[in-house]
Structure 1
């Protein structure tokens, strides 16, 4: 009971120290609010309210059909302009896309010719230029094919593929981006907070006070793990409720409680990593460099950015020792696909085993550094 009391009191001390550090408090608030929102919405994979102007030199039924095909929310209603206004509009940044439909366009299409349509793209609008150009080409192709099919015999394909999008029917990037950002912040902040807590005690000289008190390295480490882990866990739960589900309107398919259980086991591993880094680094800048070196492979090679199946087999095997590999699979299964405990229990056991190894390694390192 005395040991449990020490762990609780030391953890409360860590929470008070964190509260008195405005930089870390602001980092937590930003990471689980604005950063998640910007990660989900910053660079859309599809155009959104892109401006387009059309020089319609044909004035035919087909050209009118093309103009009507540009609809919200991808494009604002197209503006009819002449050729003299096309260059000026592009130079001033008024239009992201300008489309020049040549004379006799409909006649040439129905005559079996291949007329050329000029599409000008303002490539300085990088978030919309490349995806928008692809959308415009697809719209022109679809509308022209549909128009011509009224006058010619349809070509019947031997196979009709019916595509159904599971779990994300409209392919909304914000669904994947926001949940990925939550996973990133849980990993990053848990390492930063625990490592910074140990560095802060060394810089303020309070680590010497702990050494003369009747507390053990195990109690010191457990206090940092539960206190910093609790902060990140509460912040991630609030971010899921108010930012992901509320502000971004992303539907969470599975149990948030099951996800938080997996997050707690993940925090058990990552907070231990933070303490290990805190014993190695001698200052906050050194801690930051170590965290950067660890976070990049943890995030890129864990299956968060690209599927693990596309990586070399050696990398897949090595990354099984990383907690992020199991946590990413668990989080995506629960939040996006609605998986239950019967599906994700292997990832939970993997996080528990990896967390135990990291915890014992960090504890051994902490005992050595306190001697």
Structure 2
């Protein structure tokens, strides 16, 4: 056992030196955990921000003016007043995401209790702003109508006072969510690419044959690549969490970074084994790249980081449980967002351990077969 550990250590050290001498891979690691996270988190917005809105005011009342004035930055741009005949033209040109049409006698109908209708035309090609922005417009219109009726009629206050408390993200900033999920997705992507490329590089350069003539076992070679590449990604991810997510993007981390590091190490052991498994199924670097693209896309999109698992069909919710990324996303969200402790997330860690063991054994079997074929 001591000899096995010594071989694994020295092979892993060799892997680190090889990675250090590869400027493309070093640049990829730095880029993925710095600019790639910052640019996506700061540039991609899921909340309504600076939405273009126009208003067709056919009422010309005090209530209509209040509605127009209620749409303010940072959610909406200052509304533009247009004529009814311009609606189709400006919507076709894509100038506005929302066009609100206030009908004639709107204020009078509100005071008379007739519940008049407002028409909202939405450019649904901007799907995120369309869905969320409609809720904003409904809330604004209802609030202003109620205030107007109360002031003019002197009616009683509403019997219900709704107080909204958003936990874990009080201001509903999309960057808080996007930054952490981008970090998690990049860990998955880089772990597969880095260790798989290491195997393919050994094969294409002919250095794998040199290892075969040495008194080394396939498990030693494989475990060395896993711990060396996994360690690099783990250190880069933790530095990115501190410097980019917390430092540059000002996203607070609620839970234990040490616990997150331990879970990340467990996840990296499983996903790097998957990278080796994929590398053994291909014969060249281009083939490996083409195979990893759909695997990474599926793992990231179906992990629960982009779409909630509850929104997926029942059969798909069960199927994605075999992906380690599904459990890692749930683990990372629980620790980093909600401050969960080990007693809460241990089932996710156990699931990653079990899935990782299956990947490791499958990768080891394929790796042994590939080495045997190379020797023959």
Q: Specify the alignment match of 1:107 in structure 2.
A: 108
Is the deviation greater in 281-290 or in 14-23? 14-23
SS at 2:45's partner residue?
coil
Alignment check: 8 A CA contact 2:37 2:179 kept:
yes
Q: Specify the alignment match of 1:278 in structure 2.
A: 279
Q: How many Å apart are 1:330 and its aligned residue? A: 1.3
**Closer, same or farther in 2 for the Cα pair 1:321/1:78, shift >3 Å?**
closer
Unmatched segments (≥5 aa) in structure 1: none
Alignment check: 8 A CA contact 1:272 1:359 kept:
yes
Q: How many Å apart are 1:71 and its aligned residue? A: 2.2
**Closer, same or farther in 2 for the Cα pair 1:318/1:79, shift >3 Å?**
closer
Alignment check: 8 A CA contact 1:43 1:127 kept:
no
Q: Specify the alignment match of 1:144 in structure 2.
A: 145
SS at 2:71's partner residue?
coil
Q: Specify the alignment match of 2:267 in structure 1.
A: 266
Equivalent-residue separation in structure 2 for 1:138 and 1:161 (angstroms)? 12
Alignment check: 8 A CA contact 2:150 2:156 kept:
yes
Q: Specify the alignment match of 1:67 in structure 2.
A: 68
Equivalent-residue separation in structure 2 for 1:360 and 1:303 (angstroms)? 26
Q: TM-score, normalised by structure 2?
A: 0.83
Q: Specify the alignment match of 2:244 in structure 1.
A: 243
Equivalent-residue separation in structure 1 for 2:154 and 2:165 (angstroms)? 29
In the alignment, structure 1 residue 370 sits paired with structure 2 residue 371: yes
Q: Specify the alignment match of 1:199 in structure 2.
A: 200
In the alignment, structure 1 residue 349 sits paired with structure 2 residue 350: yes
**Closer, same or farther in 2 for the Cα pair 1:266/1:82, shift >3 Å?**
same
Equivalent-residue separation in structure 2 for 1:73 and 1:368 (angstroms)? 60
Equivalent-residue separation in structure 1 for 2:311 and 2:101 (angstroms)? 41
Q: Specify the alignment match of 1:181 in structure 2.
A: 182
Equivalent-residue separation in structure 1 for 2:203 and 2:86 (angstroms)? 66
Equivalent-residue separation in structure 2 for 1:225 and 1:139 (angstroms)? 54
**Closer, same or farther in 2 for the Cα pair 1:12/1:80, shift >3 Å?**
same
Q: How many Å apart are 1:284 and its aligned residue? A: 1.9
SS at 1:149's partner residue?
helix
Q: How many Å apart are 1:210 and its aligned residue? A: 1.2
Alignment check: 8 A CA contact 1:96 1:122 kept:
yes
Q: Specify the alignment match of 1:223 in structure 2.
A: 224
Alignment check: 8 A CA contact 1:178 1:244 kept:
yes
Alignment check: 8 A CA contact 2:149 2:155 kept:
no
Q: Specify the alignment match of 1:233 in structure 2.
A: 234
Q: How many Å apart are 1:282 and its aligned residue? A: 0.8
Equivalent-residue separation in structure 2 for 1:350 and 1:121 (angstroms)? 44
Deviation string, structure 1 residues 56-97 (Cα, Å, up to 9, x no partner):
565543223223312221123345567799888778766554
Is the deviation greater in 321-330 or in 123-132? 123-132
Equivalent-residue separation in structure 1 for 2:91 and 2:358 (angstroms)? 59
Equivalent-residue separation in structure 1 for 2:4 and 2:237 (angstroms)? 29
Equivalent-residue separation in structure 2 for 1:282 and 1:301 (angstroms)? 28
Alignment check: 8 A CA contact 1:269 1:359 kept:
yes
Equivalent-residue separation in structure 1 for 2:87 and 2:317 (angstroms)? 52
| 1:46-85 → structure 2 map (5 Å cutoff) | 46-54=47-55, 56=57, 58-79=59-80
Q: How many Å apart are 1:328 and its aligned residue? A: 1.9
Equivalent-residue separation in structure 2 for 1:320 and 1:104 (angstroms)? 56
Give the number of equivalent residue pairs: 370
**Closer, same or farther in 2 for the Cα pair 1:62/1:358, shift >3 Å?**
same
| 1:135-174 → structure 2 map (5 Å cutoff) | 135-150=136-151, 151=153, 153-154=155-156, 163-174=164-175
Is the deviation greater in 142-151 or in 226-235? 142-151
Unmatched segments (≥5 aa) in structure 2: none
Equivalent-residue separation in structure 2 for 1:258 and 1:341 (angstroms)? 7
**Closer, same or farther in 2 for the Cα pair 1:267/1:152, shift >3 Å?**
same
Deviation string, structure 1 residues 171-224 (Cα, Å, up to 9, x no partner):
332222222222211112111111111011111111111112233222211221
SS at 2:172's partner residue?
coil
SS at 1:167's partner residue?
coil
Q: How many Å apart are 1:267 and its aligned residue? A: 0.5
Q: TM-score, normalised by structure 1?
A: 0.84
SS at 1:194's partner residue?
helix
In the alignment, structure 1 residue 35 sits paired with structure 2 residue 13: no
SS at 2:193's partner residue?
helix
